[in-house]
Amino acid sequence: MSRRRFIKRAAALILWPASGLAQTGKTHRVGLGFQVTKAVARPLEEAFIAGLRDHGLVAGRNVLVDIRYADGDAGRLPAIADELIALKPDVLAGFESMAAAMKAKTATIPIVLTNSSNPVGSGLAQSLARPGGNVTGISQQWEDLPPKTIEILRELLPRLTRIGFLLDATFSGSKGIETNAQKSALSVGATLVPYYVASRTELEKAFGAMAKSRPDALLIGGGGVLTNQFEMIVENCRRLRIPFPTVPGVANDTAQAALFLFGANWVQGYRDAASYVDRILKGAKAGDLPIEQPTKFELVINLKVAKALGLTIPQSVLVRADRVIE
């Protein structure tokens, strides 16, 4: 054997193990579903992908993230679940309604909640501490928000007597959220007027009704229908001069138009959900992983909006704020 041929053969033997490992290295697959449009979902999916990267899962390198959007149509969620399951993912992920559609299609593929209101009440989990089944992830405690939110509204609006509440008719958690809000409104001597909507047309009708009844403030429930129409909601609230609170992490223009923001950071929830994907890919069972609830609710007061509405924010509220927009 010639010296040149020997060197080439030796080099091939040295390089083979490394290339062989690269070829057999596992590339994971994650299916992520949204009810909203791609534009609305962008900060949420970016947070989720960043969360995967925090755990060494780099999209396009060692994990493929397949994303589908229902463009605001809740009726498309089952079809999206079918599409993602057909790709044979290692893990599925989505908010509560999306996860419910996924769970109806598979009992074997692990499902991570990126955001949810009441996973136990909705039947997705047996308990928060031990979900059982194939669903785990993040709960934002939406049902627990109305009491504190209405309490803050009462401090900011001493003459609060009528509160409008936009609720997503396609979201299973809406009824529980409304029930808590009704109790809280009564406790401060206010009337809560719910508006259940399932489309942009119904949302327009709701604002038409509010133009006549003029609520003192407007609450905005969770769900893909409302999330997909944040711009329209903000535009109408500005037009009718109706103050509204929202949750941290929503689109910046919505946050800038809100009187205050209160709750767990919505976008951060998507980033945190990625840690569940990592643990499941490392061998953990979804049913054994406790569903995480937020440990901190953030309060942000918007002095610009308060001034525009002719409101004075009490010092007792300002001192409790985590941040003030001036």
Q: Within this chain, do residues 81 and 187 fall inside the same structural domain, yes or no?
A: no
Q: Within this chain, do residues 104 and 231 fall inside the same structural domain, yes or no?
A: no
In a domain, 177, yes or no: yes
Say how many CA atoms lie within 13 Å of 58 toward its Cβ. 2
Q: Within this chain, do residues 43 and 161 fall inside the same structural domain, yes or no?
A: no
pLDDT for 60 = 92
CA distances from 237 to 12, 123, 137, 259 (A): 69, 34, 33, 11
pLDDT for 321 = 96
In a domain, 20, yes or no: no
pLDDT for 19 = 30
Q: Is 153 strand, coil or helix?
A: helix
Q: Within this chain, do residues 305 and 177 fall inside the same structural domain, yes or no?
A: yes
Q: Which domain holds residue 251?
A: 142-263+297-325
Token reading at 228: 């997909």
pLDDT for 189 = 95
Q: Within this chain, do residues 134 and 149 fall inside the same structural domain, yes or no?
A: no
In a domain, 15, yes or no: no
Q: Within this chain, do residues 60 and 111 fall inside the same structural domain, yes or no?
A: yes
Q: What is the pTM of this model?
A: 0.86
CB-count burial class (<10 Å; 0-12, 13-18, 19+) for 134: buried
Q: What is the pLDDT along the chain (326 residues), one digit of tens a residue?
A: 444 443 333 333 333 333 332 333 689 999 999 999 999 999 999 999 999 999 999 999 999 999 999 998 999 999 999 999 999 999 999 999 999 999 999 999 999 999 998 899 889 999 999 999 999 999 988 888 899 999 999 999 999 999 999 999 998 889 989 999 999 999 999 999 999 999 999 999 999 999 999 999 999 998 889 999 999 999 999 999 999 999 888 888 888 999 999 998 989 999 999 999 999 999 999 999 999 998 889 999 999 999 999 999 999 999 999 999 99
pLDDT for 25 = 62
Number of domains in the chain: 2
Q: Identify which of 263, 264, 266 has the alpha carbon closest to the alpha carbon of residue 230.
A: 266
CATH of the domain at 222: 3.40.50.2300
pLDDT for 38 = 94
Q: Within this chain, do residues 95 and 158 fall inside the same structural domain, yes or no?
A: no
Alpha helices in the chain (DSSP H): 3-24, 38-54, 77-86, 96-103, 145-156, 174-187, 200-213, 224-227, 230-240, 252-257, 266-281, 303-308, 315-318
